[in-house]
Chains A and B, each alone.
Chain A
């Protein structure tokens, strides 16, 4: 063997190491591939050698080659070999290689399970660390399942170095094996308060990552994180926490309020941009918190909240949209300024779905509003809201027209021109609505006296301007043209402002022309002459107008009509000619349309088309803004008195021009195909609707009726939709494409009043966190959406390797602990659960209890507990019957002894262990018992404090009465004293922190300090308690003797055989031995008993001989050699203290003799 080693290291001298390889590759730039394949051959040879150093070197080189892109999966097994090297140097390389090239598909990965487990429990923290690091890269679901429990145990390791790694890797484990989350979570939560900042930040990282994905399960942690956020100065940690709060706030609005202050502080104080960014980011997410402001009764806060929200609205409209309800509420506020702010916000939160509803609400406000300022504001807002983004949200234009008409009933508004502009705009741009609009406008004209009652300060008469124009321009849609014409010719009209009268005059000619044509076609010559006569009679009132414009137009038209009358008398058909005056379709053009049309080839826009001084009559190709511009509009119908010839010539010229005009596609298809993404005239952004509602609504149309109709329509469509779905998808886009639509994605691009599906499609993306539907089923984080507050069930216990049955028996029961308040709840629930169980099987109870106790021991390894001075108050701890409770580990064990049960397991296994089932054992011994109560206890050493032990006492109420006010007192000895809260005297008892209902048991811990541990101790004590039942309450006492055995000062500590050998060789140990006859149980059971009751671990076992080791809390080494003869067992012990040893052996003798 030695020779081989030497040979190996000589060989090594000729091997290439990594540096040589790297250098070699750099020197073979030309034939790199060849050189590397040569190297790989060498490496293959090296891997065949037995020398682990050579292998490790080879693997190291392979790792480098892997980075260069060479496949090294063939060496997976060799990597595992190197991983299992005992030397850290090699192990490190092995794990590095594994972390670089192992993945879920690597088949040998399962072989690593045991090796990793062994390394995790290595006494060398760096072995453990390297294993954890490696595992974090290639953990598979199987590995996660098998190792979850080991890693969880490591979270309570004594070394912060291991703790933080274990905490971090738990995240990976959770992802691969979500079942582990619930059992591990309490311990993880504990780590948030770990004394080591590294561990703490690791825990914050993990929990924040978890919580970000499924925030609702982590709401209960908010206070804890809040504390951390205000106390931590670590930016890395802060960022995570703030991110977490960003996820939590939408779920718990109250949080937002609390967050404002610390966040603002951070924003102001931090110098780290990353943190600042995170804060600001979160603040945006925290719109919720504004809600709190708005909900506040303080008006100032409310106002500021709304103001801030309107700022956010500009950037994050969606986040504000979810607060629609609240903002609508604010509309009802008494305070006008608040209402105005709310109005501002409404603008941003309308959708197709809610527009009608919101406007309806606003209309009610308009009616109620008192001051004109506010009413005017409302009016402009309604129009703003409806008309925004090219009427994006309007699904039914009939409704909108009705709204506008209703608005005309407002008295004293200054915004008549706004309404008028809207009417014109809609009527012109929405072709389908024209018929309806015209009928409405005719009605307005008919009722003009209502509107125009007080013209001087009444701005609303402006709408008559629009009404007159619409009726005139689209007179073909008028049903009762005569009536409308008469309405326009009423004397009252002359009281209207001049510019409105001018429009009246102009448009009555249009009306007249269309009536004339109608009558002529119907052959009613009489009627035609009558209408001419009417005009001639009525027009002079306009001719006398003081307004120049009105006067001029009126006299022109009067002349024209007189001329027509002459022709009519001669029975010449004139209608055709008259109507030609107003021929030509009006096409609305988007303001930017011109820019978007490419200049056709060969067209020089600067060149004169005609002779330079040409009269300007191409006005009607101006952009659509023309309709807001009076002057331009008038010019269109300028010269009505030109003769026929001239007219024909002009018409021809105009047609010619239109042919060249890209906008006049209807009369002559434009060559600009590029722009024709939609058929026909639709290349110009015209808002179209399909009207499935009857155009005629009986009576004066009320917008409310439309709301109702619209709802019905939507409902109907919804039903139809399912059938049509596929078909519609195809039609949808092209037909109703709106040019200028800068829609947000949530507002699907469907045509108004047609494909609307209010419920399913209209949901804005961020409406509410009903995120269940939109979660990706493949999302790895979805599996982690686990309710963490539910108590653990039996089935959730983390899987534990079977062979652990043996080894866990060795581990002494662990108890102790302070139950954190936070974990109380689930426990209580479990308690109830337990209660039921108990009732079911009272007979079996004792037996069962023992078994359960045993089982719980399996999962846990020994935890050592330190009771910090601050925790001098003993908190209650329930007697944990359910095993997972243990694994879950609610303990507040700050530190855990660094020992490895796994290691000992391995050694036991090596010693060929037969897998017999072991009898159940319990470390709890009876303390005292009376008809009311039974006390059992167990004593645990504390590694952190060499003079403290923790006594866990289980109190079991055997009676049918209620036990309360329990107080435990012990008579201190010189050596052993009970730790009492500061300020209490040695005679004071310690209250048991719980009460016991009938049949319930619970556990409490008491800490004792002691000086010497070499001798067993007995302390007398008393438990006093009050028994309360129907007959009243009695005060009872129960005396007991607390026996501190020497074994209870021992702590199971693993030991390697080499260290063990060294220890024995050192010679400074005292020796003693015992022999016990009449042993019948198997050696395995015997060892298990020693391990369990006396807190030893097996170092090595050969046949019927085993060496064992343990350590006292004060650092005494105890070594045992246990040999089994036919019927007897001999135990040779060595210990640094002879008294301790002899006492220990005496205790052991007692145990063994019972076997």
Chain B
């Protein structure tokens, strides 16, 4: 079609046939151009809006993720507190919490060779079997078995971990590699339990071997559902090829992070009988993972990054396994004298009382006996420094009701914080968190935290990483200085999710490599790995695991990710309902239920501190009145609690929603026999402690009534999974299904 004749019976010509410009039906060039301009502008605007949506969706996910990591500090201080004030919650059996959190005594001490050998493997077990020394057929077997969703028997898992621990003990803190042995070294970033991504990497790039050496840069576990499989495969290859397979520790190779972010739960679910032992060994193995890898004395690979204080020589000299968790300073040795200071007594828990997110050294631990619970002195001084007092842990995210004191600007990184003791309400009096560790221990800990938690920033300088609550933001000058000092030319790190799986910054000095695709949501990002040959020029390879065979369009992906992010945000709003309402009050004296858009945005940012474009997001979060003001109660319309129990007041519902994850963790720990049930007494007690620690004013009577109502079959025990399900926030649209 489209020949240039002008016979009148032909259909009228199309615009581009200028030979027919004389025909009245053909639009003039001017009109054509005008139409083209309109269409081009309109379409580009649509694409620009889509891009904006994609960006703020990303911001939402990232903000909530980092805020959650910060919240972890909250929980860990509670554990410290529990640990220091009583050991048994159940009255029988070894101190479970100590075992999980901070083993003073290695339970396997003196039983080194026989722990796993005692475990029988049933004839009927059809999963993979391994023996030592490992061979390629064992690792192949493992990979294939995990592909088929089989679980490695506890006996083999324990043996694997035990062998890994032995191997790692012989390794230095900083491992050196060379490109002269193989063509290229492959560096991978965070996997976070994404087995599919790991298998995809192996498929594209080859299994680990002498010809295909790998460095995995931390964060193998948490968040994804197959953390166990991922990490066992990595350890198996480590044992098989100790010279060609290198693992760096990440900030999630940390038993306290694991408590919150899913690895602990996953192990407990997959290993009902031996879960605790396995977790104990994981804890040891994680703390024995090397901190850094250096290639050809030119490329430094660490999980997070550096700070202006980072001293690699010092780091190489410390006993890395002493730093079990970034979230707690290593315990002081028990021989050190107790620092005694008087503690104060009040009349019971005060809401919003002295608790602050920022951890502070306190006075002597309270040693009062109460309700049959007693502090078991494992010898000498009981004042262990289980609280983290370094200013490396800082918080800008303290909600207004929990911290009457505003956060002052963080002190310089090397000076430990020292204010008067943190008094925490405990039943009917107060207890204090113990005094700080000596300087050397603290320095070691801070150096480790910096390397595992820091993020690069575009501006020069080094500032505390308030977003994450640990480590620093380091600028190009900091990177330059460190690289130059050691004669390095490149820093490869991970720790941050990137849209394309990788990102280059600091003028090419820093590469971020992230290997978990679809991290936030299906379609949210690609994964990548980087290869370095003898030229040490990075080559990037990207991929994305896809659940569907049909490829989603950009619009569909953006929309899916956006709606997921918005739900997460709506849940956040719901779980901070009372603080938000308190915040709106000064702007709405007459209680009309309306405030201006600016005021609304201001309050949201002040309470949630997520640094998000609230005005742009407003249409998804709240309704407008005809006069343009925001009907702020509509923020909470989207969500509601799962069950309706009369004892659940809005205040209680909100608190339970907000701390649901934390409560789940605590219950999981208390429930020693994994029955899913805890006693009413345990429930009450734990709840009271937890709310006392938070400084949340909740009526004891309300908790009691709640506990009794949850005990559906009146046998004195609570199915806490059911209980928690009741408080899982449900999107109102879901409920209709």
Are A and B physically bound partners?
no
Interface, chain A (partner B; CB < 8 A): none
Interface, chain B (partner A; CB < 8 A): none
